[in-house]
Structure 1
Amino acid sequence: MKALTYRLLPGVALAALCGPFSAHASAAKSELAAEATEAEGQDGTQDTDPSRAQEIIVTAQRRSQSLQDVPVTVTVFGAEEIQDARIQQIGDVVTRTPGLAFDAYPATQPRLFIRGIGSSDRGAAGDPSTAVFLDEIYLGRPAAIAFDAFDVERIEVLKGPQGTLFGRNVVGGAINVITRRPELAGFDAGAEFTYGNFDRIEGAGYLNVPFANNTGAVRLSGAYRSHDGYTFNPYLGRSIDDQDTLSGRLQISGEPSDSFRFHLTVDGTRDRMTGPANHTLELDGSDPLSNFYTSNFDPDVTYGSTVGYQDRDTFGVRAEIQKDLGFGTLTFLGSYREVDYSSRYDLDGGNPDPTSPGYNDINIAGGDDETAELSSQELRLSSLPGSKLNWVVGFYHYSQTVERTNEMTLDAPVIAPFTITEIFDNVATLDSIAFFGDASIPITDKLSVFGGVRWTRDDKRSHVWNTRSLIPVRAEEFFDVTAEGSFDAVTWRAGVEFSPAPDHMLYASVSRGFKSGGFQDTPANADEAARPFLPETATQYEIGQKSSFWDRRIVWNNTLFYVDYTDLQTSQLVGGQFVVSNAGQARVQGYETQLVARPVDGLSLSASYAYTDAKFVDFVEGGTDYSGNRLSRAPEHKLTLSPSYTYRMASGVEITAAADYLYTSKIFDDNSNQPPELRGPSEYVDARLIIDGIADHWSLSIWAKNLTDERARTWQGTNLGANFGAFSPPRTYGATLRWQY
Structure 2
Amino acid sequence: MYASSYTKAGLYRSLMCGVAIATLMPAAWAQTESDSDAVTEIEEVYVTARKKQELIVEVPMNIAAVGAEEISKRNLINKEDVYRSIAGAAAPGVGDISGRGQLILRGLSGGNDATPNTTSTFTDGIPLNFSDLYDVERVEVLRGPQGTLYGSNAIGGTVRIITKKPDLSEMSVGGSILFKTEHHRPGTEVRGYGMINVPIMEDKLALRVSGSSGSKAGKIINVYNDHNGEEEEKFIRAQLMWAPSDTTRVNLSYVNQDFYDSTYQAVDVSTPSYYYEAILTANPDAPYGYDVAFDFPNCPTGASRPECKSGGNIMGDYNPEFAVWNLVDNYTEYNMDVFGLTVDKDNLIDGIDMSYAGSYRDFTTSGRQGGWSRFDANDMFRTWILDQDAYDRWTHEIRFQSNSEGPLEWTVGAFYDEIDYAPSDSWQWQYHASDNKSRAIAAYLWGDYWGLGDPTQIGIDMYGDPTKNYNATRFETNLKELALFGEASYTFDLGDSGKLEITGGLRYYDLKDKIHTEVSGIWVGAEPSVTRTDDGENGTRKKVSVNWMPNQEFAVFGIYSEGYRQGGNNGPTAPNDCANDENIDSYVDRYSSDKIKNYELGMKGFLFERKFQFSSAVYQIDWTDVQTSVYMPSCGFSYTANAASARSRGLEFESTTSLTDTLKFLANFSYTDSKMTSDVEALGAKDGDDMTMVPKYNFYAALDKELEIWGREGSVRIDVSGYGKYKSHFNVKDEDISPAYQIVNLSGGIQVNEYARISLHVNNIFDKKAVRYARSRSRSDWSGNTLSEFYIDERTVALRLDFNF
Is 2:328–2:373's contact at 8 Å kept on the other side of the alignment? no
- The secondary structure found in structure 2 opposite 1:150 is coil
Measure how far apart 1:64 and its partner are: 0.7
- 1:189-221 Cα shifts (integer Å, max 9, x gaps): 211112222321111111112232312211111
Is 2:548–2:557's contact at 8 Å kept on the other side of the alignment? yes
Q: Which residue number corresponds to residue 526 of structure 2?
A: 475
- The secondary structure found in structure 2 opposite 1:515 is coil
1:618 aligns with 2:696: no
- The secondary structure found in structure 1 opposite 2:735 is coil
Measure how far apart 1:560 and its partner are: 0.1
- The secondary structure found in structure 2 opposite 1:676 is helix
Is 1:669–1:716's contact at 8 Å kept on the other side of the alignment? yes
Q: Residues 334-733 of structure 1: matches in 2 within 5 Å?
A: 334-347=358-371, 361=380, 365=384, 368-384=387-403, 388-403=407-422, 405=427, 413=441, 416=445, 422-426=470-474, 427-444=476-493, 445-467=498-520, 469-471=521-523, 474-475=525-526, 478-521=528-571, 523-525=573-575, 531-574=589-632, 576=634, 577-622=637-682, 626-649=686-709, 651=711, 653-692=712-751, 694-707=752-765, 708-719=767-778, 720-721=782-783, 722-728=785-791, 729-733=793-797
Q: Which residue number corresponds to residue 318 of structure 1?
A: 340
- The secondary structure found in structure 1 opposite 2:563 is strand
Q: Which has the higher helix share?
A: 2
Provide the aligned C-alpha RMSD in A.
3.3
Separation (CA, whole Å) in 1 of partners of 2:683 and 2:703: 50
Q: Which residue number corresponds to residue 155 of structure 1?
A: 139
1:193 aligns with 2:171: no
- 1:698-727 Cα shifts (integer Å, max 9, x gaps): 110111223324242435342354333242
CA pair 619-519 structure 1, distance change in 2 beyond 3 A: farther
Amino acid in the other structure paired with 1:104: V
Measure how far apart 1:730 and its partner are: 3.2
Separation (CA, whole Å) in 2 of partners of 1:737 and 1:592: 35
- 1:536-595 Cα shifts (integer Å, max 9, x gaps): 010100100002122322112211011011101112324644222223421111011112
Q: Residues 92-241 of structure 1: matches in 2 within 5 Å?
A: 92-102=81-91, 104-105=94-95, 108=98, 110-118=101-109, 128-139=117-128, 145-166=129-150, 168=152, 170-197=154-181, 198-240=187-229
1:253 pairs with one of 241, 257, 264: 241
- 1:59-115 Cα shifts (integer Å, max 9, x gaps): 111111111221111121211121222222243233333323345225516544222
Q: Which residue number corresponds to residue 38 of structure 1?
A: none
Higher RCO (C-alpha under 8 Å, 6+ residues apart): 1
Q: Is there any run of 5+ residues in structure 2 with no aligned partner, and where?
A: 1-18, 21-36, 182-186, 277-295, 307-318, 448-453, 456-468, 577-583
CA pair 340-283 structure 1, distance change in 2 beyond 3 A: same
Separation (CA, whole Å) in 1 of partners of 2:652 and 2:227: 44
Separation (CA, whole Å) in 2 of partners of 1:435 and 1:394: 6
- The secondary structure found in structure 2 opposite 1:466 is strand
2:268 pairs with one of 262, 272, 280: 280
Is 1:633–1:669's contact at 8 Å kept on the other side of the alignment? yes
Judge which range, 204-213 or 554-563, deviates more. Answer: 204-213
Measure how far apart 1:625 and its partner are: 5.2
- The secondary structure found in structure 2 opposite 1:254 is strand
Amino acid in the other structure paired with 2:745: D
Measure how far apart 1:683 and its partner are: 2.2
Larger Rg: 2
CA pair 659-298 structure 1, distance change in 2 beyond 3 A: farther
Judge which range, 82-91 or 501-510, deviates more. Answer: 82-91
- 1:393-437 Cα shifts (integer Å, max 9, x gaps): 011111012358456678895993568765444442111101111
Q: TM-score, normalised by structure 2?
A: 0.78
Amino acid in the other structure paired with 1:205: G
Separation (CA, whole Å) in 1 of partners of 2:418 and 2:112: 19
Separation (CA, whole Å) in 1 of partners of 2:144 and 2:430: 35
Q: Which residue number corresponds to residue 4 of structure 1?
A: none
Separation (CA, whole Å) in 1 of partners of 2:608 and 2:557: 22
CA pair 49-402 structure 1, distance change in 2 beyond 3 A: farther
Judge which range, 213-222 or 403-412, deviates more. Answer: 403-412
Separation (CA, whole Å) in 2 of partners of 1:215 and 1:387: 32
- The secondary structure found in structure 2 opposite 1:164 is helix
- The secondary structure found in structure 1 opposite 2:646 is strand
- 1:675-695 Cα shifts (integer Å, max 9, x gaps): 322221122222211112x12
Measure how far apart 1:632 and its partner are: 1.3
Separation (CA, whole Å) in 2 of partners of 1:723 and 1:95: 28
CA pair 80-386 structure 1, distance change in 2 beyond 3 A: farther
Is 2:749–2:759's contact at 8 Å kept on the other side of the alignment? yes
CA pair 672-365 structure 1, distance change in 2 beyond 3 A: farther
CA pair 522-632 structure 1, distance change in 2 beyond 3 A: farther
CA pair 455-333 structure 1, distance change in 2 beyond 3 A: same
Q: Which residue number corresponds to residue 279 of structure 2?
A: none
Amino acid in the other structure paired with 1:572: V
Q: Which residue number corresponds to residue 267 of structure 1?
A: 255
Q: Which residue number corresponds to residue 34 of structure 1?
A: none
Q: Which residue number corresponds to residue 284 of structure 2?
A: none
Separation (CA, whole Å) in 2 of partners of 1:315 and 1:634: 34
1:300 pairs with one of 322, 328, 349: 322
Measure how far apart 1:622 and its partner are: 3.7
Separation (CA, whole Å) in 1 of partners of 2:762 and 2:353: 46
Q: Is there any run of 5+ residues in structure 1 with no aligned partner, and where?
A: 1-26, 29-47, 140-144, 352-357
CA pair 666-521 structure 1, distance change in 2 beyond 3 A: farther
Judge which range, 682-691 or 719-728, deviates more. Answer: 719-728
- 1:263-290 Cα shifts (integer Å, max 9, x gaps): 1101111112212244332447699989
* Percent of aligned positions that are identical: 22
Is 1:340–1:370's contact at 8 Å kept on the other side of the alignment? yes
- The secondary structure found in structure 2 opposite 1:475 is strand
Q: Which residue number corresponds to residue 329 of structure 1?
A: 353
Amino acid in the other structure paired with 2:763: K
Q: Which residue number corresponds to residue 55 of structure 2?
A: 66
- 1:296-315 Cα shifts (integer Å, max 9, x gaps): 59443333333422211111
Amino acid in the other structure paired with 2:734: P
- The secondary structure found in structure 1 opposite 2:80 is helix
- The secondary structure found in structure 1 opposite 2:81 is helix
Amino acid in the other structure paired with 1:555: Q
CA pair 584-272 structure 1, distance change in 2 beyond 3 A: closer
Is 1:113–1:129's contact at 8 Å kept on the other side of the alignment? yes
Is 1:279–1:726's contact at 8 Å kept on the other side of the alignment? yes
Separation (CA, whole Å) in 1 of partners of 2:681 and 2:772: 27
Is 1:383–1:392's contact at 8 Å kept on the other side of the alignment? yes
CA pair 506-408 structure 1, distance change in 2 beyond 3 A: farther
Separation (CA, whole Å) in 2 of partners of 1:593 and 1:558: 4
CA pair 565-680 structure 1, distance change in 2 beyond 3 A: same
Q: Which residue number corresponds to residue 20 of structure 1?
A: none
